[in-house]
Structure formats: structure tokens, C-alpha cells
Amino acid sequence: MNILLITLDQFRGDCLSSAGHPLVQTPNLDALAAEGVRFTRHYSQATPCGPGRACLYTGTYQMNNRVVTNGTPLDARFDNVAHAARRAGYRPVLFGYTDQAIDPRRATGPDDPRLSDYEEILPGFDAELDLRGDMTPWVDWLQAHGHDIGDSIAQTLAAESERPAEHSHSAFLTEQAGEWLDRQDGPWYAHLSYLRPHPPYAAAGDWTRRYDPADVSLPIPPTPEHPLHDRALATIPAPEDEAGVRAMRAQYYGMISEVDDQLGHLWAALRERGSWDDTFVVVTADHGDQLGDHGLIEKMGWFEESHHILGIVRDPRRPAAHGTVVDRFTENVDVLPTLCEAMDIEIPAQVDGLPLTPFLDGEEPPWWREAAHWEYDWRDRFIGHGEPAVWPWDRRLERHHLVVLRTKDAAYVQFGNGSWLCFDLAGDPTWRTTTDDPAVVLPLAQSMLTWRSEHSDRTMTGMVLRQGGVGRWPDPHPLDEVSPAGASTAPR
């Protein structure tokens, strides 16, 4: 099988027409879902981009990979989607970016430029189209088409509406991927990392006028419940005027429909090449966008809008489940084990997620999780400020962290400083009503502790060194006979 992993940056899970969005149209993602499986409760495990992608690429929770902000190095010991592809015999290629900072222990020296950039390429990928930083290949392409370029890449992106849609960032990536596909003569593995609908909130070409701001619904109003929310409102607030909020949301929806249109071109290209029925497709996002909800933009905190994302998987070998919709809780840490099973290789021991394969077969495993989890860390606001830390014993930065356990009816938020919030989602799905009922809170807090215990790093915890070699769990020779003194009576 060919493997196609697509990420759409900052794509909220509710912004699909197949998910019932009242305005935005996504016909090509809907078509993919009709030929695959759509996961309605799919979640990112961290924000912003670097942490969210670290969880996606390694299949591990933030508490294990410890990528807590853009620029935190990804420990080189972790396996990832590209390394797995190489073990399966592929040459994994990247179109776009991965936002993974290098492990400094792998640097060539103190002057290694990779030590000054968090937008490095995930180890294992060959960058067929490198769109990091100033996005030089796209900028050069725009200039070759006669466009004036702004002084910064942010200005260039903000001017997308002033250029034809066929010259957009998404269109360029799609075109380059299509030309690469023309050169392939065997099974391939490609990761297409699209920027949109990431801000700036400016859709390309005519897509900027696709949605009338007057038709756009207003966001959930803010109800500050914690100092972190107050701080966010002071630093990354949504536009205060109604017209500004409506315009921002209309542009976001335009960006979604524009990148969906590009995916339609990609689907068509695969069909024209006769590859569609030989290609395993995963489409997800690194995180969502507040889009004005709770008074905020961008992504952060405990909020549903920052972490609920799209999730669609198509396996052409499993047509019986095509068109099904799964409402169990699924997570981005499930992507790596799913890809491993699609490539018929062993799932790494580090993985915290679960393979989605049963759902692709139309089954619903009874042992599946009953909640989603995600984490957010804001220590980067304090690094280099205040009193110097006493290294390595000072743990003050660990207090600037939260973990969310989200069930069908409630969400429990545990903060690193010991405080907590519990939201009654059955009574108010907008995350604006809290509860301190012990009958609700205590079981959730206990579940959080259990979750942490079950998912602590286990790279070597399933092994035991003993006479005769390395034992693994499940052990073919279990020490199931133990004397009262605790000494094993099993043969050595």
C-alpha cells in the first residue's frame, strides 16, 4: 500500500459539512469520509504546533515525550512515523513542515544552525518540499508568477486574498506533490503537511468571499474561571467588535474550504494515476482554533475548541466499514500504531495510543477508552524570567501545566499547582458551567490518576534481565510460583 498522511494545521473538528456544520462546506473531506471512517470525537493531545505534532508523530502523551512548547527538543530516543516507515521498507518524504526541534545532543556543535530553530524536520523524513521558516520555495514560485512579496512571510500569507487561489500556499504544495507522484513507480509514503487553516485569517483568492460574515454565527462568550484564562484574555483576545469576529470566522471557513478544494485535486490526481485504490489515507490536524470562543483566538489551555480536531482514515482494503462514523473517543496518539498495522510492522513499546484498525474493520472493541486526554504547558512564559532556578531540583515550572480528562458528560482539569476545574458537559456543552459535586469530581480525579499510572513511560519496564537472557511481558516462563519469603520457586 501507498501511505498518505495529511495534516491540516489548526483545523477544528466541528468544521466539516459531514459533521453537521451549518455553513462551512467540505465536499472533498466528506467524500473521503464516505470511502473511509470518520471519527467524530477525535482529539489532539497538546498545543501549540510543536507539542501537538510530537504527540502525533511519536504516539506518546506529552507527559512522556516532554515536548512542552515550540522549541522544546524532541528526545532522539523516540520512534516516530518516519522511522516506522523506513522499517517497513519505505522512503518517507515530507511536503511542508513538522515543527520538531532537534535533540541538542545530536547537534554537530554549538554553531549548528538547527539549535536556533524549532521548525526542524522530524528525523527520518526526506524533505521533498521544505516549507519551514520563510517558505522560500513558495515565495520564489510566487515571484516567478509575477507577484510582489511582503517584507515577511506573515505579510505574504496575509496577502493570499489579493492573489489568485491557484497561487495559494495550499495550491503550491498540492502541485509539488502531484509532480512528485508522477515520478513514483512503486509503493510510496508521503506526509503532506498543509499550513491552512492556520492564521493569518486570510483566505486565498475568491475563497476570501466564499462566506458572508453576516451568515456566520457568533462564538461562545467568555466566562473566566481561572487565572490562566484571564491571562489569555489579556494576551490573545479575539476581536472585541462583532463585525471583526464575524469577518475572522468567515475567513477561517474560507481557508478550510480552500484547502478542502486542494484535497479534491489531490484525490483526482491519485485516481488519474491509478493509485487511489492502493493508498491508505489518514487526515488529521495538529490542534484546533478557539476562533473567538471563550473570547480567545489561536490555541491553548483546557478548551475543547483547541483540541477537538478532524480525524478520517481510509483503508481501501476494508470496504465493509466505508462510510461509517465512530463516536468513541479517539486521539492523535492512535495514528502511529494505526500506520504500523497498515504497514504490517510491530507497534513500538513507547506508544500510548491504540490502533484504529478494529474500527476500520467495522468492529467496536469493548475495551476501548471511555475518555480523551490532553495536556497544556505554559512554562515558556516564565523561562528566563524571575528568580534563577536551582537546577535540577527546582520544580516551579512544572506547576504551569494542566491535564484534561474529557468524558461524554464531564471534563476534569487538573493543574500542576494543585487547583482544578470540573465542567458539567451534560448540562452545558459549552464548557461554561462548573461543578464541585464530589460524586462527579472524585471519580474523574481517580480516573486521571489511573490514566497517568497506566501511561507512564514503559520503554524498558516490560523487560527483566535475568539468567538466560532478557525476559519480556507476557513472559513465556512466568515466575508464578513464589515462596512465602518472596523468593521464586520457578526453575532458573
Would you say the C-alpha torsion 197, 200, 205, 208 has a positive or negative sign? Answer: positive
Q: What is the C-alpha to C-alpha distance for residues 208 and 153, in angstroms, rounded to an integer?
A: 19
Q: What is the C-alpha to C-alpha distance for residues 355 and 335, in angstroms, rounded to an integer?
A: 7
- Residue 464 belongs to what H/E stretch? strand 463-466
Distance of CA 80 to the CA centre of its chain: 14
Exposure of 186 in the CB half-sphere (CA atoms within 13 A):
4
Exposure of 29 in the CB half-sphere (CA atoms within 13 A):
30
Contact by Cβ (8 Å): 290, 238: yes
Q: What are phi and psi of 407, to 5 degrees?
A: -100, -175
For the chain, percent helix, then strand, then coil, each to nearest 5?
35, 20, 45
Angle separating helix axes 27-34 and 242-272, nearest 10 degrees:
50
Q: Clarify whether 49 is annotated catalytic.
A: yes
β-strand pairing of 126-130 with 92-96: parallel
- Residue 8 belongs to what H/E stretch? strand 2-8
Gyration radius (Cα) of the chain, Å: 23
3-class secondary structure, 85: helix
Catalytic residue among 15, 49, 55, 340: 49
Q: What is the C-alpha to C-alpha distance for residues 157 and 169, in angstroms, rounded to an integer?
A: 8
Cβ-based burial of 384 (10 A; exposed 0-12, middle 13-18, buried ≥19): exposed
CB neighbourhood size of 385 (10 A):
6
Q: Which of 99, 115, 84 lies closest to 47 in space, CA to CA?
A: 99
Q: What is the DSSP string of 103-162?
A: PGGGSSSTT-GGGG-S-PPPTT-EEEEE--TT-HHHHHHHHHTT----SSHHHHHHTGGG
Cell 469520509, located at residue: 33
CB neighbourhood size of 163 (10 A):
18
CA distances from 371 to 219, 245, 331, 405 (A): 25, 32, 10, 6
Q: What is the C-alpha to C-alpha distance for residues 184 and 178, in angstroms, rounded to an integer?
A: 10
Catalytic machinery residues: 49
